[in-house]
Structure 1
Amino acid sequence: MIRLILVVLTIILACAITVFLTLNPGSVSFDFLGLSGRMPFALAMGLFLIATFGLLVIWRLVLGLWTAPDTFRKFQLRRRKEKGFDALENALIAAAAGEGELAVRQAARADALLDRPALSRLLAARAAEAAGNLPGAEAHYEAMLEDPKSRLVAQRGLAQIAHDRGAHAEAANYAKAAFDASKSASWAFDALFDAQIAQGDWAAAAETLLEGERRKKIPQDRARRRRAVVLTAQALECENSDSDMARALAEKAVTASPGFPPAVVLAARLLAPARKHKRAEDMIKTAWSSQPHPALARALGELRKSDTKAKRAERLRELAASRPEHRESKLVLAEAALDEGQTEAAKSVLEPVLGLGTPSARLCALAARMARQEDDDPAARRWMTRASHAPGEADWSDIDGEGRAFAYSPDDWKRMVYAYGDEGRLTHPRYERFEIAAGAVPENALLEAPKPARKAGAAPEYAAAPRPPDDPGVEEDDA
């Protein structure tokens, strides 16, 4: 629209000039080099304009001939860049598509056409990675370390390659250098933390986690859960060599995540020798209110060695009262009742749980113990037979056959860092490896031999040793 307006205005102006010259014809005379003449003013102006245009054309041609070599060189350079960018595009597409050999060829072509060393080396490294040539990619990344512009991306590539081949110490070195140099590179925090966890370097991982949280590279809730796992693993590592350090670390882990059962159980175990029973008990109750776990109940029961059975049962009932609706609280009440010999109380709690689906090995063992207290040995044996092939419980698998809670391997703790830290989920390695048996509750699994029948009128034997089967004073049970 603007162009149309300009054209119309130009036409109007030309018409006005034409009318003006027509109304005022005038004349022009000249005398040059013996030539003289006279012509109308309009014709003189037209000739002047044509001469001016001719001079401009001639000047343009002369200028074009003069600058032709430079123009040709610029044209060649532009074409070279276009071909180089085409090769770069093809190399990137081939690398993303997994066509390693094509990516390498196109990267070499782009390197030859483009005068961008950093870009060419990065492309060559990516292409080598796509082709599976990790040593070649590593060589390109190492060359990029010399250029400050490409140092960070080179450190990332080298850290990833080192991680892929299992060289976690080397990966940690590259990631640490990047983490110290750049405050905004999130990958450096993740790579450094992952490498330290893979090495089992719990102390360094805790420091990295603290700095990452300060830089806001990880949400606070996730950082707290990860810290709880890392500190717990670190405390377990030094439990035998430095119990004071282990206790301090375990308490920090509980502070970071009060509902993390492994940290609470460990802290309670380490606080007991220091006679800090009240603090340990409060930790256990807080964790139970968050998420009941059988290891917590066992830790509370074993906290005070001087407790009588009645006192221990009272503490367990108080613990269960904080979450009365939870299945684990009901099982704690049943175990406490069995400890005190209150079979009817145990039955009232345990039978409804036994009726909920297929009983687990743990429930079968409790039922066997209850039957034994009722002197129903056949029922006890039947329950223990069921326990031998009944399904296990994930949480109960955290307690091994010797009664130790969360006796995990270092690799299991490494998994826990991410399972609990990122998802808030406990892992159960023994459950996943099918290391579960009714023997996980030895006090429930060991049944006494059937008592021999007494003759009518014979005095009861409370403290006497069992007699051999051929003792004439004893009749064998026909059952």
Structure 2
Amino acid sequence: MTRILFFILAVLALGFGFGWLADRPGSLSILWQGQLIEMSLMVAASIVLLIVAVFMLGWWFIRTVWTSPHSVRRYFRARTRDRGYQALSTGLIAAGAGNAALARKMSARARGLLRADQEPLILVLDAQAAVIEGRHDEARQLFQQMTEDPETRELGLRGLYVEADRLAAHEAARQYAETAAEAAPYLPWAAKATLEHRCRAGHWDDAIRLLDQQRVAHVLNRAEADRLKAVLLTAKAEDHLEGQPSAARDNALQALKLAKDLVPAAIVAAKAYLREDNLRRASNVLEQVWKLNPHPEIARTYLRARSGDSAVDRLKRAERLEALRTNNTESLLIVAEAALDAQEFEKARAKAEAAARMESRERVYLLLADIEEAETGDQGRIRHWMAQALKAGRDPAWVADGHVSDKWLPVSPVTGRLDAFEWKVPFDQLEGPVEESSLGAAALALETLPPVKTTEIEVEAQKPTPVVEATTVLKEVEPAPARTTAKQAGDRTAAAPAKEPEPFFGHAPDDPGVRKDERRSEAEQKSRMKLF
């Protein structure tokens, strides 16, 4: 582009000069060796330009003839180089496709056309061909040779790391990854491997420093880097909780600033505050995270914050959590559990049934069974809730790469991946085919529940409501009452049809949960007397 512009400007300058001379005619006289030469200015200018052009053409011809041997040599060298790079390109493609024979052939051709000491890609092609052919010792030697060249150092370390990982030489793989990460923190594989190794060893400070380097090198975006750093700070805080509560508190609070809904960080911070006898700050931390992410571990820590609290005090604290996050299953369950401990069965049953209508889960029905056992001891109703718990969806847990853990861990014990644990339902514990919604299942469970046994008035023919088929379309009705009085049981018995219904669980007298029918017993005795 610059040359074209310069050419245009030169043509314009010549045209302007000749135009200027044409507007100002004149003559030019030259006296040389006794001879007078006269000509116009236009002719004189033309002769000068012609002489300059001839001089330039002659100089170009002389230069071309003088440099022709070098030009010819450079032409053939460029041709050989192009053929060598073509062979090298074909060999790399063949190595990527797994064609070891063609890769080896192209490598030999490239070595004949190119100098191996000036083209490092030949070593790369040889190493890839050796790996494909299974000659790993030769491949490791080539990768080691690459590490001596600054241009191929990172590639050689990568190859050595892969070979060490293949041989399960974890210490050697760690050293190669750390060497690459220290020299080039922008390499994702080196930074990831080094970070995982440091996390497994519990070197949290080194891991945080490496993570900061990755963030500066723009390997990770800001949100991902903040989340991983919060996890590392939480793990560091857990290690310092017993010996250095103040350091654990500071690390956990810094983690909460980076990830406000990180449940383990809130629990560690609260425990650190409790070790410093600062109940108010501990409760404040737990309440802030509870608003964002209601979690049963937060609720348990919040309720057990003061060891001297009575069951009634814990119930009040549970109701405080429910007020912070209303219409939530975890809020209802924690209040129901606290009310059960406080022997307030009516409130516990109401909250548990509300949680069952909101989300059909194993924990909900097991809690209802505990309430039934503590209040009435009715084995029929207890077995009913236990059966519903077997059919309901399982409770969430800490899961990472298919591994279920009782507590949160910073890294996965299976793959070593950082921040792998999630609070969710395990895949191998998902419920079977769903025939109806969780809300319908809860309503059906409450509707088919046997009545509570009464002790105030003996009801002779008290029978449970017949079981409703699972395919019956449920109507929108008001929630069933938690308890049945003796008067209501008598009214239902009087309104029952003449045909005797089947018991809810099994047949009497095999099932201890069903009261034996006295009329049937009298009929059996009369039939036996007739036989005698």
Alpha-carbon distance in 2 for matches of 1:218, 1:245: 27
Tell me if structure 1 keeps the 8 A contact 2:412–2:419: no
Compared CA separation, residues 191 and 100, structure 1 to 2 (3 A): farther
Counterpart CA distance in 1 for 2:259 and 2:168 is 31
1:210 equivalenced with 2:212 (yes/no): yes
Which of 386, 390, 396 aligns to 1:394? It is 396
Please give the alpha-carbon distance, in whole angstroms, between the structure 1 residues aligned to 2:258 and 2:153.
36
CA distance in 2, matches of 1:221, 1:315: 34
Structure 2 CA distance for partners of 1:276 and 1:130, relative to 1, 3 Å: farther
Report the TM-score, using the length of structure 1 for normalisation.
0.66
Q: Which is further off, 411-420 or 261-270?
A: 411-420
Per-residue CA shift, 1:112-144, capped at 9, x if unaligned?
321134221123233334445444333222112
Deviation track 1:284-303 (CA, whole Å, cap 9, x = no partner) reads 11111111111110111111
| Structure 2 equivalent of residue 363 of structure 1 | 364
How does the TM-score come out when normalised to structure 2? Answer: 0.60
The residue that corresponds to 2:324 in the other structure is 322
The Cα of 1:266 is off from its aligned counterpart by: 2.9
Aligned to 2:110: 110
Distance 1:477 1:168, change over 3 A: closer
Q: 1:277 to 1:405 in 2, by over 3 A?
A: farther
Letter of the 2:111 partner, please give it. Answer: D
Give the AA of the match of 2:94: A
Write 1 or 2 for the structure with the bigger share of helix: 1
Contact 1:183 1:215 in 2 (8 A): yes
**Deviation string, structure 1 residues 262-286 (Cα, Å, up to 9, x no partner):** 2222332343222122222122111
* Identity among equivalent pairs (%): 28
- CA spacing shift, 1:282–1:405, aligned 2, 3 Å: farther
The partner residue of 1:125 within 117, 124, 127 is 127
Please list the CA deviations of residues 377-406 of structure 1 after superposition, one character each: whole Å capped at 9, or x if unmatched.
2212332354356432114889xxxxx961
Check 1:223–1:369 CA distance in 2 against 1; reply closer, same or farther (3 A cut).
Answer: same
Give the distance between the partners of 1:323 and 1:371, measured in 2 at CA: 27
Instruction: Provide the rounded CA distance (Å) in 1 between the counterparts of 2:419 and 2:303.
Output: 30
Work out whether 1:181 is the aligned partner of 2:183. yes
Q: Distance in 1 between matches of 2:430 and 2:199?
A: 25
For residue 138 of structure 1, the aligned residue among 118, 121, 140 is: 140
2:352 corresponds, among 350, 353, 356, to 350
Q: Aligned in 2, Cα 1:161/1:278: closer, same or farther, shift over 3 Å?
A: farther
The verdict on how the C-alpha distance between 1:167 and 1:256 changes in structure 2, with shifts beyond 3 A counting, is farther
CA distance in 2, matches of 1:186, 1:478: 66
Question: Closer, same or farther in 2 for the Cα pair 1:225/1:416, shift >3 Å?
Answer: farther
| 8 A Cα contact 2:411 2:418, kept in partner | no
Alpha-carbon displacement from aligned partner over 1:416-463 (angstroms, at most 9, x marks no partner): 62436xxxxx255x9457599xxxxxxxxxxxxxx9x99x9xxxxxxx
Deviations 1:192-214 (A, max 9, x none): 32443455543321221123223
What does residue range 76-475 of structure 1 map to in structure 2 within 5 Å?
Answer: 77-115=77-115, 116-182=118-184, 185=187, 188-197=190-199, 199-237=201-239, 239=241, 245-356=247-358, 359-378=360-379, 379-387=381-389, 390-395=392-397, 406=407, 408=409, 411-412=412-413, 417-419=418-420, 426-427=422-423, 431=426
Give the SS at the match of 1:355.
helix
Deviates more, 1:244-253 or 1:133-142: 244-253
Conserved? CA contact 1:317–1:333, under 8 Å: yes
2:530 matched to which residue of 1?
none
Structure 2 contact 369–382 (Cα < 8 Å) conserved: yes
Give SS of 1:272's match: helix
Post-superposition offset of 1:219: 1.9
Measured after TM superposition, the shift of residue 415 of structure 1 is: 5.6
Q: For residues 104 and 195 of structure 1, what CA distance do their matches in structure 2 show?
A: 36
Matched residues in 2 for 1:199 and 1:101: separation?
Answer: 43
* Separation in 1, partners of 2:159, 2:414: 28
Return 5+ residue gaps in structure 2 as ranges.
1-57, 432-452, 459-511, 516-532
* Change beyond 3 A, Cα 1:134–1:242: farther
Contact 1:294 1:395 in 2 (8 A): no
Alignment partner of 2:412: what SS? helix
1:280-335 Cα offsets, whole Å, 9 max, x none, are 21221111111111111011111110112122111111112222122212222222
1:415 and 1:145 map into 2 onto residues whose CA distance is 27
Aligned residue for 1:392, secondary structure, equals: coil
What is the deviation of 1:161?
Answer: 3.7
Q: 1:183 to 1:236 in 2, by over 3 A?
A: closer
Is the 8 Å Cα contact of residues 232 and 410 (structure 2) preserved in structure 1?
no
TM-aligned CA distance change 1:270 to 1:144, over 3 Å:
same
SS of 2:256's equivalent? helix
C-alpha contact (below 8 Å) 2:181/2:187 kept by paired residues: yes
Whole-angstrom distance in 2 between the partners of 1:211 and 1:132:
37
Question: Which amino acid counterpart does residue 371 of structure 2 have in structure 1?
Answer: M
Flag the 1:202–1:137 CA change in 2: closer, same or farther, 3 A.
Answer: farther
Q: Structure 2: how far apart are the matches of 1:286 and 1:131?
A: 59
Cα distance change on mapping 1:139 and 1:396 into 2, 3 Å: closer
| Partner SS for 1:417 | coil
C-alpha separation in 1, matches of 2:351 and 2:397? 20
User: Partners in 2 of 1:435 and 1:197 — Cα distance?
Assistant: 31
Bigger shift: residues 375-384 or 190-199: 190-199
CA contact (8 A) 1:360 1:390 kept: yes
CA drift of 1:356 comes to 4.9
Q: 1:394 to 1:416 in 2, by over 3 A?
A: farther
Aligned equivalents of 1:139, 1:88: Cα separation in 2: 20
For 1:313 and 1:477, how far apart are their aligned partners in 2?
A: 32
Task: Deviation per CA, 1:82-140: give whole Å up to 9, x if none.
Answer: 33112111111112222234323322332332113422112323333444544433322
Q: What is the aligned length?
A: 374
Alpha carbons 1:316, 1:333 under 8 Å: kept: yes
Structure 1 Cα separation of the partners of residues 132 and 217 of structure 2: 33
- Specify the code of the residue in structure 2 equivalent to 1:316: A
**Aligned equivalents of 2:230, 2:414: Cα separation in 1:** 11
Question: Is the CA contact 2:199–2:411 (under 8 Å) kept in the aligned structure 1?
Answer: no
Q: Is the 1:235–1:250 Cα contact (8 Å) retained in structure 2?
A: yes
